[in-house]
Structure 1
Amino acid sequence: MYSIILESLQYSLKYTIKIVPIVTIGIFVANFLINTGIMKKLDKLIKPIASRANISAISTLAVATCTFSSTAGFSMLSEGLNEKKVSEKEVIATTLISSFPSILSHLFTFFIPFVIPILGVITGTIYIFLRVVIALLKSIIGIILAKIWLKTKVMDAQDNANKRLANPNHYIVPTTPTYTQISKKSLKSTYKVLKRIVIVMVIALFVISILDKLGAFENFKNIFEPISNTFGFKSEIVIVSATEILDTRAGFIVAGDFLNKNILNTTDVLIALLLGNIISFSTRFVKHSLPLHVSLFGYKLGTKIVMINAITTLLIDVLFIAILIGLF
Structure 2
Amino acid sequence: MQSLISVLLTEALPRVLTITLLIGVGVGLANLAVAYGLVDVIARVGRYLTEPANLPDEVGAAVLTNTVSVTAGYGMLAEFRDSGLLDDRATLIAVVINTFFGFVQHIFTYYGPVLIPILGLHAGLMYVGARAGISLAISIVGLLAGAVLLRGYEYDNSAIEPETPDDEEETHREKLRHAGAETADRLRSIVPRLAIIYSLVFVALEYTDQLVAALATVGLEEPAALVDPIAGLVGLPGAAVPVIVVSLVDPTMGAMTVAPMIGDVLTPAQAVITLLVGSLFSLTIGTVKRSIPFQYGIWGTEFGTKVIVLNTGLKAVFIVVSILVFLVV
TM-score (norm 1): 0.64
Q: What does residue 291 of structure 1 align with? A: 293
- 2 CA distance for matches of 1:45 and 1:113? 28
- Structure 2 CA distance for aligned equivalents of residues 89 and 121 of structure 1: 41
- Name which of 241, 257, 269 aligns with 1:254: 257
Equivalent in the alignment of 1:201: none
CA contact (8 A) 1:57 1:162 kept: no
Say if 1:225 and 1:80 are closer, same or farther in 2 by CA, change over 3 A.
closer
Following superposition, the deviation at residue 98 of structure 1 comes to 0.3
CA distance in 2, matches of 1:45, 1:276: 36
What SS class does the counterpart of residue 232 from structure 1 fall into? coil
CA deviations on 1:28-85 (whole Å, 9 max, x unpaired) are xxxxxxxxxxxxxx99986523332111233221111111111111111111111111
**Matches for 1:183-262 after TM superposition, within 5 Å:** 227-259=230-262, 262=264
Number of equivalences: 232
Corresponding residue SS for 1:319: helix
Cα distance in 1 for partners of 2:252, 2:271 equals 14
Task: Point out where structure 1 has 5 or more consecutive residues left out of the alignment.
Answer: 1-41, 172-219
- Shift of the alpha carbon at 1:282? 1.3
Q: Quick one: which of 298, 310, 321 aligns to 2:312?
A: 310
1:162 maps to 160
Question: Aligned partners of 2:281, 2:224: CA distance in 1, in Å?
Answer: 18
Kept in 1, the 8 Å contact 2:103–2:132? The answer is: yes
State the 1:232 CA deviation: 2.0
Structure 1 position 225, deviation (Å): 6.0
The answer for the alignment partner of 1:83 in structure 2 is 83
2: CA distance, partners of 1:65 / 1:114: 23
- 2:122 equivalent in structure 1: 122
- Measured in 2, the distance between the counterparts of 1:94 and 1:138 equals 11
Q: Which residue of 1 aligns with 2:32?
A: none
Partner SS, residue 52 of structure 1: coil
Q: Does 1:48 align with 2:51?
A: no
- C-alpha spacing 1:91/1:227, structure 2 compared with 1 (3 Å): closer
Contact 1:58–1:76 (Cα < 8 Å) also in 2: no
Cα deviation code 1:243-272 (max 9, x no counterpart): 11011110111121222x622110111100
What is the deviation of 1:294? 0.9
- Pairs within 5 Å for 1:36-75: 47-75=47-75
TM-score norm. by structure 2 comes to: 0.64
Q: Structure 2: 5+ residue runs without aligned partners?
A: 1-41, 164-175, 181-222
Residues 316, 153 of structure 1: alpha-carbon distance in 2 compared, 3 angstrom cutoff: same
Confirm or deny: 8 A CA contact 1:225 1:235 kept in the other structure: yes
> 8 Å contact 1:96–1:309 — kept in the other structure?
yes
CA 322–85 in structure 1, closer or farther in 2 if over 3 Å, else same: same
Contact 2:227–2:245 (CA<8 Å) still a contact in 1? no
RMSD of aligned C-alpha atoms? 2.8
Percent identical residues: 25
Distance 2:69 2:255 in 1: 24
- Indicate the SS of the match to 2:55: coil
Counterpart CA distance in 1 for 2:326 and 2:96 is 25
In structure 2, distance between residues paired with 1:240 and 1:131 = 18
